[in-house]
Chains A and B, each alone.
Chain A
Amino acid sequence: MTTSQSTTSRETTFRLRRYDPDKDSAPHWDTYTLKVPDGMTVLEALHQIKAEQEPTLAWRSSCRMGVCGSCGMFINNLPMLACQTQVLHLNSDVVTVAPLPNYPNVKDLVPDLEPLIEKHAAIKPFIIHPNSMEVDEPTGEFLQSAEEREAYSQFTYCIKCGLCLAACPTVATDPLFLGPQALAQAYRYTADNRDCGLQERLEAIDVFHGPYQCHMAGACSQACPKGVDPAFGIQLLKRTLVLDSIGFGKKKSQVAKLVPLADVVKQIEEFAPPPRSVNQ
């Protein structure tokens, strides 16, 4: 069944939360009706409402294909990406769209994601290698096997959409809690075999508002649109911290070895020799 040939459509009522900081003291709800064809996403519905009914409607979106993380919204009381949510799949005559909770609401459906970015920056989201010059001015490659990569790879898919912090019960009350995104990223870097920066990150993460205020409610992993599973990252981070506190942390000697560029080239030539020229 393709969207262009389908005749399924449903008259749907959209309740959108509106807030204009210049005019309103508090948000209110406005209602719009739309005949929604099969395949239309919430984002497309918003575009149509803005074009035909409410030109002042504001929201944030960009790629419309689930990779930029801009269009996170609270749709029927669950955090979702508007571009990845088909209206008819919500199975409801009434669709409520609100801005992501647990972030300040700038206007209409636009959240202020600054708290997300600040917490992410606080955990030092970059490789910390004993040879810091090498990280900035590389002279070779760090060795990392497929298994070593798989140990942290799923946490690299984070698109910073912020849905996880909107879902988290602890973020709902605690403005200082680092949140699933930052904590999962802290694990992503700690588990990377090129990184040995756990000690430097401890000041930011081994605090009250760190991973121990996660109580495995699992809402963040349920909300995550990219399968990052931040709850998993946080529990693994707790394990890492406990092991480190009793002396079983990663040693500097266990960090990935540096292979000088000349050796890298030699290895490439061994495994994938240059093709013979046509005339030979």
Chain B
Amino acid sequence: MRETRLWSLHLLAIPVIFVLLGMHLAIMHYAPVFYGMSVDKAREFGTMIERGKSVAQFILYILLLIAGLYHGLYGLRGILRELPLTPTLIKVVDVGILTFGLLIFALGTYVTWWTFTFKVGG
């Protein structure tokens, strides 16, 4: 079952990314249309902190991180493993990508939490 399950998760991540990334792009690039504020204002430090303080934003960003990183890194692992690799290199690719993914996820989660708990003005 192993590879089927890994691939099924790769596919399940797709609608999650479609919706959440779509929302993210809309917020960032279509701020004038959806929020009546300029794109530059949408990217300002203050606006970013304000957005990051909502619980919904916190949860959805973590979800997008998980889905995006899993989908992308599973794809990268597939591309690398399709090359003729020695058994050692295969282990390096699998373990390396998993470790890298966990590290980037940790960084992204920390930054999202940092924004959520940021004390404005202090």
Residue in contact with B3 in the complex, picked from A170, A206, A244, CB distance below 8 Å? A206
Contact present for A245 and B8 (CB under 8 Å): yes
A189 contacts the other chain (Cβ, under 8 Å)? no
B22 contacts the other chain (Cβ, under 8 Å)? no
Chain B residues with CB under 8 A of A202: 1
Stretch at the interface among A7-15, A26-34, A208-216: A208-216
A138 contacts the other chain (Cβ, under 8 Å)? no
Contact with A along B6-20 (1 / 0, CB 8 A): 011000000000000
Contact with A along B80-102 (1 / 0, CB 8 A): 01111000000000000000000
How far apart sit A3 and B7, CA to CA, in the bound complex (Å)?
53
Please name the residue on chain A nearest to B77 by beta carbon: A208
Chain A residues with CB under 8 A of B81: 174, 208
Are A245 and B84 CB-contacts (below 8 A) given A212-B7, A213-B78? Answer: no
| Number of residue pairs A-B, CB distance < 8 angstroms | 36
A241 contacts the other chain (Cβ, under 8 Å)? yes
Chain B residues with CB under 8 A of A245: 1, 4-5, 8
How far apart sit A170 and B84, CA to CA, in the bound complex (Å)?
11
Chain A residues with CB under 8 A of B83: 173-174
A175 contacts the other chain (Cβ, under 8 Å)? yes
With an 8 Å Cβ cutoff, the count of chain B residues facing the other chain is: 12
Chain B residues with CB under 8 A of A175: 84
Contact with B along A175-186 (1 / 0, CB 8 A): 101000000000
Chain B residues with CB under 8 A of A206: 1-4
How far apart sit A238 and B7, CA to CA, in the bound complex (Å)?
10
Most buried by A among B2, B4, B82, B84: B4
Please name the residue on chain B nearest to A177 by beta carbon: B82
Chain B residues numbered 1-48 whose CB sits less than 8 Å from any CB in chain A: 1-5, 7-8
Contact present for A242 and B3 (CB under 8 Å): no
- Could you list which residues of chain B lie within 8 angstroms of chain A, going by C-beta atoms? 1-5, 7-8, 78, 81-84
A-B contact pairs, 9 of them (CB 8 A): A174-B82, A206-B1, A206-B4, A212-B4, A212-B78, A213-B78, A242-B4, A242-B7, A245-B1
- Could you list which residues of chain A lie within 8 angstroms of chain B, going by C-beta atoms? 170, 173-175, 177, 202, 206-208, 210, 212-213, 238, 241-242, 244-245
